[in-house]
Amino acid sequence: MTDDTDEQWMQAAITQARLAEAKGEVPVGAVIIHEGQVIGRGHNERESSQDPTAHAEMIAIREAAKQLGSWRLIDTTLYVTLEPCPMCAGALVNARVPRVVWGCDDPKAGATQTVYTIGNDDRLNHRFECVPGVLGGECSALLSQFFAAIRAKNNPGNMR
């Protein structure tokens, strides 16, 4: 169930996504909330850091764990603009995040609902609540515009 608070925090994740976009990174952003405060934030940094694990969620998880002084991120919610991939969904399970809210689905690598359901797999030791589609149109548009601009730049004769 989504509410105005979910939309407020998703806007914070979108702000992070725009920071990624400004750096030429795929515009995905994430924030982790604990007791009404942002304790972790991140945006994609794979290109700038040349680190394949530098996804928005992973950066936010690391920052939140440092803030709490614990790898167990109980009583938190992660907000992310794009459905988490298998790596990030696995990290969310391991970090014991109880609730994950995302903007748009990822039809190629979504690991919470679309392709896999890691957050709800009974074989794992932890499961999390999944809340899809919060400000999904805005999150999807960010990604679509980013990739359209890349295609136009790489193929200037095909301006549609």
Q: Is 79 helix (H, G, I), strand (E, B) or coil?
A: strand
| Alpha helices per DSSP H over the chain | 4-22, 46-49, 56-68, 86-94, 136-154
Buried b vs exposed e over 2-39: b needs ≥16 C-beta within 10 Å?
A: eeeebeebbeebbebbebbbeeebbbbbbbbbbeeebb
Annotation marks residue 57 as catalytic: yes
Return the residue matching tokens 């750096």: 23
Q: Tell me the three state secondary structure of residue 48.
A: helix
Active-site pick, 57, 63, 83, 129: 57
How far is the C-alpha of 48 from the C-alpha of 97, rounded, in Å? 27
Q: Which residue numbers are catalytic?
A: 57
